Structures are given as C-alpha cells and as structure tokens.
Amino acid sequence: MAYGAKDISILKGLQPVRERPGMYIGSTGPSGLHHLVYEVVDNSVDEALAGYATRIDVSLLADGGCRVVDNGRGIPVEAHPEYPDKSAAEVVLTMLHAGGKFGGEGYKISGGLHGVGVSVVNALSRRLELEIERDGGRFEQTFVDGGEPVGPLTRVGDSGATGTTVTFWPDPTIMEELEFRAQTLVERLREMAFLNKGLEIVFRDERSAEPTELVFKYEGGIVDFVAHLNASKEPLFARVIDISDTYDSGEVEIALQWNTGFYEGLHSFANNIATTEGGMHEEGFKKSLTNVVNRYARQKGHLKEKDENLLGEDIREGLTAIVSVKLRNPQFEGQTKTKLGNTEIRSFVEKATNEKLADWLEEHPNEAKAIVMKSSQAARARMAARQARDLTRRKSLLESALMPGKLADCSTRNAAEAELFIVEGDSAGGSAKKARNPQFQAILPIRGKILNVERSRLDKMFRNEEIQALISASGTGISEEFDISKLRYHKIILMSDADVDGSHIRTLLLTFFYRQLPEIVKGGFVYIAQPPLYGAKLGKDERAYLKDDAALAAFEAEHAGRKIEVSRFKGLGEMDWQELGETTMSPATRTLLQVSVEDAAIADEIFSTLMGDDVDARRGFIQANAKDVRFLDI
C-alpha cells in the first residue's frame, strides 16, 4: 500500500483532544468526566495561590452542566499580541498550551502548569459559556461543538467586580458518562479548601427538587486536614503538630498527629497537586522525623545505650501527616506529575522539621513520650513479624500442608497474561477451577471473611492462614521486602457473591491490598469481578444474565410483552461452572471493574471509616454513598 506525504494528518486547534481524549483527561468514563471539573477549578485555585481569588463556587446544574465561578482577576480580555484578531481569553479557550503559567509574572506559583486545562474542557464540551468581569466591564463568549466560537468575546455591560465564570456541558458523543457524582466532587473540593488556608469553596447541587449547598473554608488549613483524617481514628493525643517555614522561592507546611492505629497516612502535595509517588519533600520529612524522634528518645532515656535506633517505619506507625510545599518552578517526574524532583526542597523540608519538631517535643513532654512508646511497641511488633515471616518462608507456603491444593495455579509464567481469581468459598472455588482456562487463570479459594487488617499489626497477620496464602500467591513479599517486579499475576480478580456478605468480603480483601500491598492497587493490578445477580429465560433457548436490579428493570422494559422467566442467583456456588465461566470469567464475555486510587488521602479516610472502630462514621458514610455505589472508585 502506498504511504506518502498525503497520508500525514495535521490535527489543528482542539482536534487532537477530541481524537484522543484519554491522553488529556485519562478516560472518557466517570473519572474523566470529573477531571473536566478539576481542570476548571484548578485555574481558579491558581488565582487564589497568586493572592487574588478568595472564593470559588462550583454548581452542578439541573440540565447536566457544571458552573465554576471565582472572584480572581479574570482572564485577560484584550487582543493577543500574536493573534490580534482574537482576545487573549479566546486564545486560552481554543489553543492547547496557551496560558499565563509559562513564564511572565502572571503566576509565581501554580499547579496548572500543563497549559491544556480549560481548552481541553472546551474541546470535550458540546457547549461552553465564558463570562469575565474585569477592567470595569462584563464580557461574554460562547463556544459550541467542541470549542468552536459562536462569535468574538463581547462586552455586554459594566461591572466593578472581577472574576471568571465557566459553564460547560460535556459532549455526549465523546464522554461515556455524563452524570456528575456529587460525593466525588465534594471530596476533592474539601481537599482543595484544606490545602489553601482561608479559601472559601462553595458546592451546590441543583439537580434535585431540594438543592444542596456545602461550604468549605478552613482557617487552620492542613492542621484541620489532619484532624479531619484522624476523626475516624483514635488520636494518640489531642494536639496537631504544625510546622511551617518560608524561603526565597517557596514555602512548606507540615501538619502531623499520631493515632492508635497501625497504618501510616503520609500524604504530600506540591502546589496543591497530590504527589502520590512522593519525592524530595517526603524524603526530607521522613529522614528528619526519624532523626529527631531518635535523638529525643536517647536524650530523655527512653532508648537505652544498648537499644537499637527506632526505624522510620516504627516511628510512622499510626502517623497521619500532610506535607504541603509551594514552590515557583516545580519539577514533576513523569507525565502524571506524581513525584516531586526538586532537590533543594529536600534540605529545606529537613531543616524546617529538624528545628520546629525538636522544639515541639521539648515543649510537650507527655505527647513526646507517647510517640516514643508507640514507636517502641511498633519496633517490637516488627521483630515479631519478621520471625513469623521467616517461619512462613521456611515452610515454603505454596507447597506446604498449610495450603493443600488451595491454589490451582496456571501454567504460564508470563505475569502480564496471568490472572489470579480470589474466590469466596470452596464451592465457588470448585466451579471456578472447572470454568477457568488453566493456561493463564489461577484460582485461590478463601474461607469466609479474612482478617480485618485495619485493626491488626503485621505480626498478627502473619499468623493468619488466609493472609499468608494471599501474600504467598502474589509473590511480591510484604513490608520492606516488597518487590512489585515479582508480582506473579497482573490481574488479581476479587470474585465474591453479589450480596451483602460478598461485598463485606470484597471490602476486607481491598483493605488488605490497599494497606499491605498498596503498589499492587496503585499499579492497576486489582480488579473486581461482576457476577450476575439474575438469569433470565426467554422461551426455550434464549438466555440473558443481568448484573443488578437496574439491569433487570431495563431488560424487562426492552422485551416488554414477552414471557420472561427470571431466577436470582444467591451466590457464585449456585451457578454451574459453564454459567460462571461465560458470565464472569471468560475474557470474551465478562466485565471487570479496575480498582484505582486517584487520591491517597481520600482513600485513606474511606478505609479508616469503613473498617475502623467508629460505628457512627461508618453508618454515615454508607448512608451518604449507598445510592452512588455504581460509581464506587476507591
């Protein structure tokens, strides 16, 4: 086939976004839909970072649109010097990589550094309305069909106010999901308010007969954030430690408080962007925290001369901490901007923590002693866990009597194509073994509800047979021995009954993976199987499988007038192996939900709420989210 210059396409304006939306917003599903809102909100937050905006309003409109209003300076409205026939605002809305964050003095500190934000939202909207107030006037412009301007930016009146209003309606020809989930936006907007002390963010949902409004404003900033995250736990002491400092090109804020739990909740941000892979600011904080606590423990005699130093992981057990830095030229590693690479910030954070935390411990001896005592207990548990792990390793668990025939492994040794089904119950496990393709599908049956690791230390976990089986089957090891390159299956599929007990077991398994093997979850290797709740017969040979009540109602409406025989599956074990294979296991016909962690701080809070000891908090979360369960994205 001939291949020449005529075959080379040049996508102009916003065409690349419409051709490949996933490159810009991740997906065209629920996460991508909400990402559109975040892009607009991030621009408004940057105005707050620059010292101008003090309030942002985010409204979900009754007709499916979203409106974001800020009281910042307003996008510039004069003609752009390079495009004299267009306003600067039109350039920002219709050209990729156009914005005020690439040099110049418009923004000293900014999170939206990619310069594609609001233009991408315009590209993926069927309609976008822009309103700007500045320079004594009110200006409007409308865009349709993926960013085409209906006319030029026009002055429509006078105004003494300043700010920008963006209202957009996602394009149904591109976006798979059009219904915004209020709780997803609430969690993100609350986090932004925590990270920007004193910024008022108002959320309105106008889609029901009784519109709701929530106001987020935290004068304590990240100190309030830590208190919020620890609200579903039991704090070790009442005070939240607050550390802040500034230097020539930025500032650091750190808030920390311990709780009686066993998990580290350290969450870092750079210019309001969640740095989920950490970076130099986290490194500096961790190193300094370890040194300061050990030095204090030695000085006060809590650690004797013969005692080994506490490890960083011992000291961080039960720690909830936010490390937030603002800097002029952040260097983010990778396309996803999840790891901060600026080396100078490491020594700055280390210096601030060394000085301020040491002073705090001296001034609060009771709290300081509680930190050291908890860290010492963690160290003893770590040593006990190591002994238990060594014992487990010696028994070579997969070949020992502890798991006789439990793991039906697959024959491939290519982890990229291998799948592990973790199945609830021996009966369902037996069906799954018959239904699987033994070349690439392995089956691990588990008995009933596994240990709730949210309330258990590592040493207790190693004594639990089901947990041992999960660790051994994954192949990665755990804790300091964890190595993601040794993961034996790139699809770990949780397969439980489509009922309340099945949901509980699935949540226990998710808690285990998120708390003990988080890189497996963050890497996108964990999936949830979608077994049907109903089987439907139409006549002699026609049969359909329906996931839930909503699918059943839609099915009944579509074959209205025909005789349908509906049966409900009480569990996986009720299906014969052919049905289980066809509906839930075969790659050709199954549906899988991939588990993702978009925001570690929010996920941390959710797991503590669902699996912790605070019953009222758990009840409140379930009541608030039950109606949105189809969107559950931990």
- Indicate the helix (H) or strand (E) that contains 55: strand 55-60
CA 78, 84, 88, 91: dihedral to nearest 10 degrees?
A: 160
DSSP annotation string for 56-95: EEEEE-TTS-EEEEE-SS----SBPSS-TTSBHHHHHHHS
- The active-site residue, picked from 314, 419, 424, 466, is 424
Q: Whose CA is closest to 65, among 216, 178, 193, 211? A: 178
Rg for the chain (alpha carbons), in Å? Answer: 27
104 has which bridge partners? none
Total Cβ atoms within 10 A of residue 401:
7
Q: Are 450 and 512 in contact (CB under 8 A)?
A: yes
- The active-site residue, picked from 78, 399, 501, 576, is 501
Alpha carbon distance 29, 176 (integer Å): 5
Q: Whose CA is closest to 312, among 330, 325, 296, 294? A: 294
3-state SS record for 299-331: HCCCCCCCCCCCCHHHHCCCEEEEEEEEECCCC
- The active-site residue, picked from 277, 317, 350, 497, is 497
Per the annotation, the verdict on 616 as an active-site residue is: no
Output the furthest CA–CA distance in the chain (Å, rounded): 84
- The active-site residue, picked from 145, 148, 390, 499, is 499
Please, what's the b/e burial string for 537-547 (b: 16 or more CB within 10 A of its CB; e: otherwise)? eeeeeeebbbb
Q: What SS3 state is found at 217?
A: coil
Enumerate the H helices of 107-146 as residue ranges. Answer: 117-123
Residues 6+ apart with CB under 8 A from 274: 267, 268, 338, 599, 600, 601
Alpha carbon distance 487, 102 (integer Å): 41
Q: Are 604 and 265 in contact (CB under 8 A)?
A: yes
Q: Given CA atoms 428, 434, 436, 441 in this order, what sign does their dihedral have?
A: positive
Q: Given CA atoms 31, 35, 41, 46 in this order, what sign does their dihedral have?
A: positive
Task: Quickly tell me which residue has 């500045």 as its tokens.
Answer: 134
Q: Are 90 and 141 in contact (CB under 8 A)?
A: yes
Residues 6+ apart with CB under 8 A from 546: 532, 533, 534, 535, 536, 552, 555
Alpha carbon distance 496, 573 (integer Å): 10
Residues 6+ apart with CB under 8 A from 316: 264, 266, 286, 289
Per the annotation, the verdict on 519 as an active-site residue is: no
Residues 6+ apart with CB under 8 A from 564: 536, 537, 538, 555, 556
Alpha carbon distance 10, 19 (integer Å): 12
Per the annotation, the verdict on 541 as an active-site residue is: no
Q: What SS3 state is found at 192?
A: helix
Per the annotation, the verdict on 501 as an active-site residue is: yes
Six-digit token pair at 320? 């909830």
Alpha carbon distance 562, 610 (integer Å): 43
Alpha carbon distance 50, 100 (integer Å): 12
Q: Which residues are catalytic?
A: 424, 497, 499, 501
